[in-house]
Amino acid sequence: MMPRAKLKAQKVEAAGALLAGRELPAGGAWITKARTAAAARVASMGLPSKRDEYWRYTDPRRLTAPAPEAAKLHVTDDEAPLFDGFDRLKLVFVDGVFDAQASDALALPGVEICTLADAARTDLHWARDLFGALEARGQAPVERSLASLNTAHATEGLLIRITATPPKPIALVYRRANLAGDAMVHHVIRVEGGAEATILENGPMAARFNQVTEVDIADGATLHHIRAQGRDHERAGITHLFAKLGAGAQLKSFTLSANGALVRNEAVIWLDGAEGSAHIAGATVGDGAFHHDDTVFVTHGAPRCESRQVFKKVLRHGAVGVFQGKILVDQIAQLTDGYQISQSLLLDEDAQFLAKPELEIYADDVKCSHGSTSGEIDHNQLFYLRARGVPEDRAKMLLVLAFLSEALEEIADPAYADDLRDRLESWFKRRS
């Protein structure tokens, strides 16, 4: 094994090489301060390496390489875009660049929205307390330097402040036009006390993407986050969701990942106030050259909070699924209710699921459980369905969708879950 100091030196050197000659984007005082601090974090942490314990199952080289690999554009005109049927505020990004022409006006009752580019030109902005701040907090106990890289260099994104429950969801729609787009997008979302909002994200961001979303959910506020990461096969990307929750605050985040050569979604959640609740869920379907990594870190930092992590992966033809999930319970966090389940359904012998569930508990009166399983389609269930006349393909699809449904059930509004379920059904039909 490589000595630590040598590995660190290599990582720092790689960061230096990547950033050499790259100037920080110009901006007002508040953002320049945040970017400068983030750039210093990248320089001192270095870039992630396959030799890092945290990157043991996923090779970060495609994410850290100086230039992205090209990724074919996937034509998806065989189905209407997801969430098209919903009344929503639609905000479009093309290859990670905000497209005002294609978007609705940045106006919604109860919501202040501004692009990162516009906010960066001002000297003072409400987001100054959050932008880069949650990302910086997320650097311990595990380093996530690609998120710092994003804070330092992202010029695109939205700053969304929800002061009162808006009448409709805010939908971020990602489209690709460039074969080798390299997107860096940074959103900040603050939900003020008592408000409840829904953020939808849909589509492939770019051939390569690095997305950071910093979320602050104030006391008694609720955020629903439903994300689907597109259908193109060759894309590579990493996303970080950093979210802190106040007392009685709720976060429900669900991600559907289909296809994608290399995608890692990290969620770093802090339950800072008593009786907060965070549900992080994901459904993943991979067929062929596919590597998907869900890495979740939930910290219970206050008493009587509840957290759930529900991740389901269906894999075949060499697809690889990774789950790293941790629940950390601070000493103060008595009466914590923590739950974590990660399961994979391997449709053939070539598929692979790697799971690392972890609990670290310092309080003495808590209820925490975790489970991880890997299996194939249940033959008894399959025969039962077939014996009732359901053809084999259809029976398998029913069982696969049933397997994924526990994750979909984490979505509060069944209308969104139904839309996603239809997409999953189509996904399997295209392959059967």
Smallest distance from another protein to CB 341, Å: 13
Q: What are the percentages of helix, strand and coil residues in the chain, rounded to 5?
A: 25, 35, 40
What DSSP designation does 73 have?
Answer: P
Please name every residue paired with 230 in a beta bridge, in sequence order, or none if there are none.
none
The mark string for 382-421 relative to another protein (x by CB under 8 A, - otherwise) is -xxxxxxxxxx-xx--xx-xxxxxx---------------
Inter-CA distances, 398 with 241, 378, 429, Å? 31, 12, 11
- Would you say 18 or 382 has its CB closer to another protein? 382
Smallest distance from another protein to CB 401, Å: 7
Phi/psi-derived region of residue 25, left when phi > 0, alpha when psi is between -120 and 50, beta in every other case: beta
- The CA distance from 403 to 259, in Å, is 18
Smallest distance from another protein to CB 240, Å: 30
- Would you say 112 or 406 has its CB closer to another protein? 406
- The CA distance from 40 to 321, in Å, is 33
- The CA distance from 284 to 293, in Å, is 10
- Would you say 168 or 394 has its CB closer to another protein? 394
- Would you say 217 or 341 has its CB closer to another protein? 341
The candidate with the shortest Cα–Cα distance to 245, out of 223, 262, 266, is: 223
Smallest distance from another protein to CB 405, Å: 4
What DSSP designation does 53 have?
Answer: G
- Would you say 163 or 405 has its CB closer to another protein? 405
The mark string for 358-387 relative to another protein (x by CB under 8 A, - otherwise) is ---------------------xxx-xxxxx
Which residue shows structure tokens 């839309």? 419
Longest Cα–Cα distance of the chain, Å, equals 69
Smallest distance from another protein to CB 262, Å: 29
Smallest distance from another protein to CB 402, Å: 3
Separation of first and last alpha carbons in the chain: 44
Tokens for 224, please give them: 């629903």
Number of residues that bind another protein (CB under 8 A): 23
- Would you say 44 or 381 has its CB closer to another protein? 381
- Would you say 289 or 382 has its CB closer to another protein? 382
Which residue shows structure tokens 């923590």? 338
**20 lies in the binding site for another protein (CB under 8 A):** no
- Would you say 362 or 383 has its CB closer to another protein? 383
Question: What amino acid is encoded at 381 in this protein?
Answer: Q
Smallest distance from another protein to CB 386, Å: 4
What is the Cα gyration radius of the chain? 21
What DSSP designation does 347 have?
Answer: S
Smallest distance from another protein to CB 380, Å: 5
Residues at the site binding another protein, with contacts judged by CB under 8 A: 379-381, 383-392, 394-395, 398-399, 401-406
